[in-house]
């Protein structure tokens, strides 16, 4: 953190978060939950190609409904649309699409792992100094691998 800062007009004043004081309840972590049509086609990408390990699985009907994947202290959840619909009915007709930003020490091993995966854009260097690889997982979610120099 602290590599760059974007100022937003009308943003919260220093020491305040959306009207909460600096003593607001503490957040412990945030974990992405990607909603996908089916989990099984995503596992070769996340586990086989990127080295995540499946640490939990919950079936839904005749397929996987939810999994937790972990690697290097990072967790990712995948949940099927059918599982979401059964669990939270008002979301049954919603459309989901996400982008994940994964900061990595070096892009070299990720270039190897993703060598034959189509890029969203050519590998690039951003205005804030990150070298990035952008791909899509089998469910269409954008996954950005970023290495910051210095």
Alpha carbon distance 90, 12 (integer Å): 31
Residue 7 lies in a domain: no
Residue 106 lies in a domain: yes
pLDDT tens-digit readout, 60-89: 999 999 999 999 999 999 999 999 999 988
Q: What is the CATH number of the domain that holds 143?
A: 3.10.180.10
Count of C-beta atoms within a 10 Å radius of residue 83: 21
Residue 136 lies in a domain: yes
How many structural domains is the chain composed of? 1
Mean pLDDT score of the chain, rounded to an integer? 86
DSSP class per residue in 84-136: HHHH-GGGTT-----EEEEE-S-SHHHHHHTTTSPEEEEEEE-TTSEEEEEEE
Residue 14 lies in a domain: no
Residue 10 lies in a domain: no
* Residues in a beta bridge with 147: 131
2 pLDDT above the threshold of 50: no
pLDDT of residue 91: 86
pLDDT of residue 3: 54
Instruction: For residues 88-113, give the mean pLDDT.
Output: 89
Residue 26 lies in a domain: no
pLDDT tens-digit readout, 109-133: 999 999 999 999 999 999 888 999 9
Residue 87 lies in a domain: yes
Residue 6 lies in a domain: no
Instruction: For residues 40-67, give the mean pLDDT.
Output: 97
Domain span holding position 70 = 32-148
């Amino acid at each position: 953190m602290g590599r760059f800062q974007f100022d937003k007009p009308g943003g919260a004043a220093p020491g305040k978060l959306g009207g909460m004081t600096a003593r607001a309840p503490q957040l412990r972590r945030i974990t992405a939950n990607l909603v996908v049509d089916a989990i099984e086609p995503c596992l070769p990408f996340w586990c086989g190609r990127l080295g995540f390990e499946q640490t939990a699985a919950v079936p839904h009907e005749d397929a996987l409904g939810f999994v937790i994947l972990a690697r290097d202290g990072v967790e990712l959840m995948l949940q099927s649309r059918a599982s979401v619909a059964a669990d939270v009915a008002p979301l049954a007709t919603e459309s989901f699409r996400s982008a994940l930003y994964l900061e990595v020490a070096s892009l070299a091993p990720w270039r190897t792992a993703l060598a034959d995966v189509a890029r969203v854009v050519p590998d690039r260097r951003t205005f804030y100094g990150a070298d990035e690889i952008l791909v899509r997982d089998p469910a269409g979610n954008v996954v950005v691998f970023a290495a910051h120099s210095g």
